[in-house]
Structure formats: structure tokens, C-alpha cells
């Protein structure tokens, strides 16, 4: 199954999902994984507008349900929305919290949710559609079918475009450029009618939803086009807002914490905290720089897994879905550049001296025979163990491996780092490199003759996730999944002194909150993290918190922005000099 993220994550990617609970006897699960069915799925917002269109096989996180279970609340790349349960493969939905189904969603028509394919004839492009996409809104059926000047300019036979990448689903954006939001994913081999282009022909406008008349934009470099596009119309679209335009009112001013969480604890001033915190609002969403000493908040760019350099001057991040690679942007949002191109990259992290960038990749694979029971044997092992077996009875599959690699800050001198073949979510400190694997938290280093060593692992609970090594220290923080919530733990680099830093304040709530994505301050004295605790110490919205390195003085940072975290190994927060 092709990957569903911009980083072209393989089907073998570990997912971190809460343990199911029985609704009548256990705490309600915060979320469960669901998979879109053979006809794909559509996600609707509370107003009944179409948010996202997913092809078959996409994995989403369901966080709630309607009372009768006919609809589920899921976290999509465009934000939370509603999906009809019949469009999903889902188990244990009774464990989810019940949400009020908006009347507009209940009235949403049921469409054939297969991704739009080539139409029998060219469809009308209306002024309503052009205006809707120009304002980055989901398209609806136009009030009038009268032809416009765009109709006259359209070719008599439709020009089609087919997705040619094979290892990922291609980003479909609301406008012609990476600065526009992602509104959907196009599967490898999917074909669409082309309805327009930008002035250079680098971006194509496609009809992505026949029933609703929705359109979207893709990079032409990843499409095979059936005809000449020179005669296609060039729709006028509203320029995407630059990061500086997005939220300039917040820059340089203190931000009030949301009223709903003001009473979590007595908020002390964050002015004593130094350095710069960068974070992503969502996977592929806006990346911000926050200055705790002043309260200034600066939007930078869109991307995945931001990591700030030790000196605080540069942010590394990734993109995917036809835009894969490692990118750098200056801390003021200027001078964005892609320094390294390779598919399926994630979790960039800087070396302590700021000269190298470490990352995880999963574009290498081994061919092996799938014998079931989650076992895949290399051919030589298979034939040695089963000399009389018929290999045609067992599928020969590609098993993708996660590896650690590094490049310098110019994107040169690529090389691999000694690590297990399930290495993910790495971090690099003076003490070495730590990473997550199927064998728990491991430590290694960059060099010849290095052997990776186990730091912490428990066969009964293998979910030791997202480690971060304390600068100039011996402590490694990570998140550990419990029965009903995830919390932040620490362990010494030699495996001693394993203990939690966060824990539920009370169990007398419908849903326990989680604490995730720890990252140390440059001096190692504090940890920034995400928590979805609310004023009742129950699960609510995600916010950014900070605490001392020993878990004391946990404090909500006054950042009034919605945060989307989906337990998918998002490297959501980073702290630099």
C-alpha cells in the first residue's frame, strides 16, 4: 500500500495508538486507528463542507463518534471532521467518546467515494468554482450551469493527467504552490481531468471531485499529461498568505493563554526561559518560532518535524507528497531552501556543533517471504527452514527498513549512521545519538566501528517513543504509552533511574490526558512538551507546556493556537539557542 504522507512513509511504519478499552468498564479511549475502505472516504466539517478526500487504504485517527455510531470524528490533514462509519474499516468504535453530530453533517449527501477518475466528457468550470478555490474554500455545486468564458476556452476533449510517482500519494493543494494548504492526496496511477494551469505550467488544476465540482492543484512534474496544456485557462487565484502575513499581530507581544485552560495551575511568567522554541501546528501545517522570554510568536513556513539549530539561527524540516527532502529556513522565515532530496525522510535533528543534520529514512528494503504471524524470512533462511515448501504459496514481499543517515548543512557528504533497521525519531547530543526502535530506546554515534546499545526496553510494553537526549547531560526523555494515556518518562543513558515525569492528576474523568513530544532546552534545565490536559485534568485540546528537567514546575505556555497531534511520531516541538 503506498504511503499516505508527504514523507512517503512505508506501510510498515509503527503507529502509536492508545490501547482499546471496553466502554462499560474502562476509561474511554482517546483515539483508535481506522482505515479508509475500498471506495475511500470523505471528511466533512461541522458546517457540512468537504474538508478532505482520501483514497482507499489511508490510515486516520478516530477521536469520537455520533451517538448511534453512524459517523466518526477523525483527525485529517485539514483538521478534525466527520466521516461516515460505513466508509471506514474500524473496530471498537464504542470505546470512543460521543460527540454531538452537527445537523449539517447529518444532511450531507452520500457520494461514491472512489477518487475521481477521467470523466466521459469535459465538465464545466464555473465562476463559482473559480472563486471558491481562489478563497481556499471547499467547492460546492454552482447555482447556475450557464457556461462562462472559461468554458469557451476549454478544449473540446478533456486533457487528463495521471500520477506517476509510485512510492507515495501526491499532495493536492488549494492553489498553485507549496505555500497553499493540502486538501487531499492523489494515489499513484490515479487519473484526473485537467481544468487549468498556472502561468508557467508548473502547477495543474485538476477536477478532483465530480459530484461536488471540487478542484485542486498538483505539481505537473509528478503527472503524465495526455495533451498540450498551453491552451488551458489560467484561473486567477488569491495569493497564499506569506508567513509574515499569517499572524503579525502576535509577533513581539505577549499572548494570553486560552481561557479554558487558565485554571490548570497558577501560570508563572515564562520570561525566565531562554532560547527559541519552534513547533508545528499540525503535520505539514504552519511552523512557528516562539520566544518565551518576550512572548513573541513568528510564523515561518509550512512543513513537517521542525528542528532548530543549536545556535537558534536556522530551522530544518521536511516535506513530502511530491515535495520530499530536507529543507532549511532562517529563523526569521527568510531564505527557505531544499538542501537534500530523497524520498521517505523524517525527523531531522542537528548535531551539537550545528554542522550535520541527522534523519530517519525508510527507502531501503529487503525481499522476503511472508509466512504470516508477522514474520518475513529472507530467501536463504526460508529455504533452509522449509526445504520442501512451495515458495509460490508464500508472497515474496518488500520489507522496508528504517535507517539513520546524515548530511552536512549544505546537503552534502551523505552517509549512514550505525543503527538497527527499525531506527526512528532520533536525537543528537554531546553524549551521542539516541533513537527509537523495535528493541526500545537505543544509543549510537556517528563513526566507524560503533555498535548500537540498548538503553531501555520492556517486552510487555514496547512503546518507548520519541527519545530526546539532554544537552550536556546523561538523561534521555521519551514518551511511554500506558493503558489509557501516554506520559513522559526519563532514563539515564546507561539504562538506570527509569521513572516518569508526568502522570494523571486524577482518574475521575471520562478520558485521561496525555503528555508527549518532549524536547530539552539548550541548557538541559527544562523540557518543552505537548499536553492535552484541561482545567479538570481531563483530556482536551493540545497545548504547549514546559517543566523543569526533573518534572517540577509544569507550566502552560501562553500560546493561543490550535495544535494537532495524532500519535504518529510527530517531532512537533524543538528548542534551540
Cα separation of the two ends of the chain: 41
* C-alpha closest to that of 85 among 70, 96, 100: 70
Nearby residues of 184 by Cβ (< 8 Å), 6 or more positions away: 52, 53, 54, 172, 208, 216
More confident site: 279 or 170:
279
Q: Report pLDDT digits (tens) over 143-177.
A: 333 333 334 444 457 888 998 887 678 888 888 88
CA dist 178 and 476 (Å) reads 35
Q: Report pLDDT digits (tens) over 451-498.
A: 999 999 988 887 899 999 999 889 999 999 988 899 999 999 999 999
More confident site: 371 or 15:
371
How much is the mean pLDDT over the chain?
A: 79
Task: Reply yes or no on whether the pLDDT at 187 is more than 90.
Answer: no
Distances (CA, A) of 227 to 160, 190, 193: 7, 17, 11
358 pLDDT band, cuts 50/70/90, is: very high
User: Region 271-293: what's the mean pLDDT?
Assistant: 89
More confident site: 429 or 86:
429
Q: What share of the chain is helix, strand, coil (3-state, %, to 5)?
A: 5, 40, 55
**Would you state the cell numbers that stand for residue 201, as one nine-digit string?**
505550467
Lowest mean pLDDT, pick from 106-110, 322-326, 472-476? 106-110
Per-residue pLDDT, 95: 80
Residue 536 CA to chain centroid, in angstroms? Answer: 28
User: Region 365-377: what's the mean pLDDT?
Assistant: 80
Among 143-157, 215-229, 264-278, the range with the most confident prediction by mean pLDDT is 215-229
Task: Reply yes or no on whether the pLDDT at 443 is more than 60.
Answer: yes
Task: Reply yes or no on whether the pLDDT at 294 is more than 60.
Answer: yes
106 pLDDT band, cuts 50/70/90, is: low
3-state secondary structure of 244: helix
Per-residue pLDDT, 135: 38
**Would you state the cell numbers that stand for residue 467, as one nine-digit string?**
527519545
CA dist 574 and 577 (Å) reads 10
Q: Report pLDDT digits (tens) over 491-541.
A: 999 999 999 999 988 888 888 999 999 999 999 999 999 999 988 888 999
Q: What does DSSP assign to residue 98?
A: B
394 pLDDT band, cuts 50/70/90, is: confident
Among 252-266, 355-369, 428-442, the range with the most confident prediction by mean pLDDT is 428-442
- Cell 475500498, residue? 38
Task: Reply yes or no on whether the pLDDT at 142 is more than 80.
Answer: no
* C-alpha closest to that of 394 among 385, 403, 406: 385
Nearby residues of 94 by Cβ (< 8 Å), 6 or more positions away: 23, 65, 69
Dump strand ranges (E) for 188-234. 191-197, 203-209, 214-219, 223-225
Per-residue pLDDT, 29: 66
User: Region 396-412: what's the mean pLDDT?
Assistant: 89
CA dist 94 and 261 (Å) reads 28
| DSSP secondary structure letters along 331-361 | TTS---EEEE--SSEEEEEE-TTSSEEEEEE
The burial of 19, by beta-carbon neighbours within 10 Å (0-12 exposed, 13-18 middle, 19 or more buried), is given as middle
Lowest mean pLDDT, pick from 246-255, 339-348, 407-416? 246-255
User: Region 364-388: what's the mean pLDDT?
Assistant: 82
Per-residue pLDDT, 299: 92
Task: Reply yes or no on whether the pLDDT at 413 is more than 90.
Answer: yes
Task: Reply yes or no on whether the pLDDT at 76 is more than 90.
Answer: no
The burial of 177, by beta-carbon neighbours within 10 Å (0-12 exposed, 13-18 middle, 19 or more buried), is given as middle
User: Region 68-87: what's the mean pLDDT?
Assistant: 86
Rg (CA), the chain: 24
Task: Reply yes or no on whether the pLDDT at 263 is more than 60.
Answer: no
CA dist 300 and 336 (Å) reads 9
Task: Reply yes or no on whether the pLDDT at 122 is more than 50.
Answer: no
User: Region 2-14: what's the mean pLDDT?
Assistant: 37
More confident site: 103 or 68:
68
User: Region 434-443: what's the mean pLDDT?
Assistant: 94
Q: Sign of torsion, CA 135 141 144 148?
A: positive
Task: Reply yes or no on whether the pLDDT at 254 is more than 70.
Answer: no
Contact 468, 432 (CB under 8 A): no
Whether this model's pTM surpasses 0.85:
no
* C-alpha closest to that of 39 among 51, 54, 59, 49: 54
Task: Reply yes or no on whether the pLDDT at 430 is more than 90.
Answer: yes
Task: Reply yes or no on whether the pLDDT at 441 is more than 90.
Answer: yes
Going from the N-terminus, what domains does the chain have, and what CATH number goes with each? Answer: 1-110 (2.30.30.40), 127-225 (2.30.30.40), 243-576 (2.120.10.30)
Amino acid at each position: 500500500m503506498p504511503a499516505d504522507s508527504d514523507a512517503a512513509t512505508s506501510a510498515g511504519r509503527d503507529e502509536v495508538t492508545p490501547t482499546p478499552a471496553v466502554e462499560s468498564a474502562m476509561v474511554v479511549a482517546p483515539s483508535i486507528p481506522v482505515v479508509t475502505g475500498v471506495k475511500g472516504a470523505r471528511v466533512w466539517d461541522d458546517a457540512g463542507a468537504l474538508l478532505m478526500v482520501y483514497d482507499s487504504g489511508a490510515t486516520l485517527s478516530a477521536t469520537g463518534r455520533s451517538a448511534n455510531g453512524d459517523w466518526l470524528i477523525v483527525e485529517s490533514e485539514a483538521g478534525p471532521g466527520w466521516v461516515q462509519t460505513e466508509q471506514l474499516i474500524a473496530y471498537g468504535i464504542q470505546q470512543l467518546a460521543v460527540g454531538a453530530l452537527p445537523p449539517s453533517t447529518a444532511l450531507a449527501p452520500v457520494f461514491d467515494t472512489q477518487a475521481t477518475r477521467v470523466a466521459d466528457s469535459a465538465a464545466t468550470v464555473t465562476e463559482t468554482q473559480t472563486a471558491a478555490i481562489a478563497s481556499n474554500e471547499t467547492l460546492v455545486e454552482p447555482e447556475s450551469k450557464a457556461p462562462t468564458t472559461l468554458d469557451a476556452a476549454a478544449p473540446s476533449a478533456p486533457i487528463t493527467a495521471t500520477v506517476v510517482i509510485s512510492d507515495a500519494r501526491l499532495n493536492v493543494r488549494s492553489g498553485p504552490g507549496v505555500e497553499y494548504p493540502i486538501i487531499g492526496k492523489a494515489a499513484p496511477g490515479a487519473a484526473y481531468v485537467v481544468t487549468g494551469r498556472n502561468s508557467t505550467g508548473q502547477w495543474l488544476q485538476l477536477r478532483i471531485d465530480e459530484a461536488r465540482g471540487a478542484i485542486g492543484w498538483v505539481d505537473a512534474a509528478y503527472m503524465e499529461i495526455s495533451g498540450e496544456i498551453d491552451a488551458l485557462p489560467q484561473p486567477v487565484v488569491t495569493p497564499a498568505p506569506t508567513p509574515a502575513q499569517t499572524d503579525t499581530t502576535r509577533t513581539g507581544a505577549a499572548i494570553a493563554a486560552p481561557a479554558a485552560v487558565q485554571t490548570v495551575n497558577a501560570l508563572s511568567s515564562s520570561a525566565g526561559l531562554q532560547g527559541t522554541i519552534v513547533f508545528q501546528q499540525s503535520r505539514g501545517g504552519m511552523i512557528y518560532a516562539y520566544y518565551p522570554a518576550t512572548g513573541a510568536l513568528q510564523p515561518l513556513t509550512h512543513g513537517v518535524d521542525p528542528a532548530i539549530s543549536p545556535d537558534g539561527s536556522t530551522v530544518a524540516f521536511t516535506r513530502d507528497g511530491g515535495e520530499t527532502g530536507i529543507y532549511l529556513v532562517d529563523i526569521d522565515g527568510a531564505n527557505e531552501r531544499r538542501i537534500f532530496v530523497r524520498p521517505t525522510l523524517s525527523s531531522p535533528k542537528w548535531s551539537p556543533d550545528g554542522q550535520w543534520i541527522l534523519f530517519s529514512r525508510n527507502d531501503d528494503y529487503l525481499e522476503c517471504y511472508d509466512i504470516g504471524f508477522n514474520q518475513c524470512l529472507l530467501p536463504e533462511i526460508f529455504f533452509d527452514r522449509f526445504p520442501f515448501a512451495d515458495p509460490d504459496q508464500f508472497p515474496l514481499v518488500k520489507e522496508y527498513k528504517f535507517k539513520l543517515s546524515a548530511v552536512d548543512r549544505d546537503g552534502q557528504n551523505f552517509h549512514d549512521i550505525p543503527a538497527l533497521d527499525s531506527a526512528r525519531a532520533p536525537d543528537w547530543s554531546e553524549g551521542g545519538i539516541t533513537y527509537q526502535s523495535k528493541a526500545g530506546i537505543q544509543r549510537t554515534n556517528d563513526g566507524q566501528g560503533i555498535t548500537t546499545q540498548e538503553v531501555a526496553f520492556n517486552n510487555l510494553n514496547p512503546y518507548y517513543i520519541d527519545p530526546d537526549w539532554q544537552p550536556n547531560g546523561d538523561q534521555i526523555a521519551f514518551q511511554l504509552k500506558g493503558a489509557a494515556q501516554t506520559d513522559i518518562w526519563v532514563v539515564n543513558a546507561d539504562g538506570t533511574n527509569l521513572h516518569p515525569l508526568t502522570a494523571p492528576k486524577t482518574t475521575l474523568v471520562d478520558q485521561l490526558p496525555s503528555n508527549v513530544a518532549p524536547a530539552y532546552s539548550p541548557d538541559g534545565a527544562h523540557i518543552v512538551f505537548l499536553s492535552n490536559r484541561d482545567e479538570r485534568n481531563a483530556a482536551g485540546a493540545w497545548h504547549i507546556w514546559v517543566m523543569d528537567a526533573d518534572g517540577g514546575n509544569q507550566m502552560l505556555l501562553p500560546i493561543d493556537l490550535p495544535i494537532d497531534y495524532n500519535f504518529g511520531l510527530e517531532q512537533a516541538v524543538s528548542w534551540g539557542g
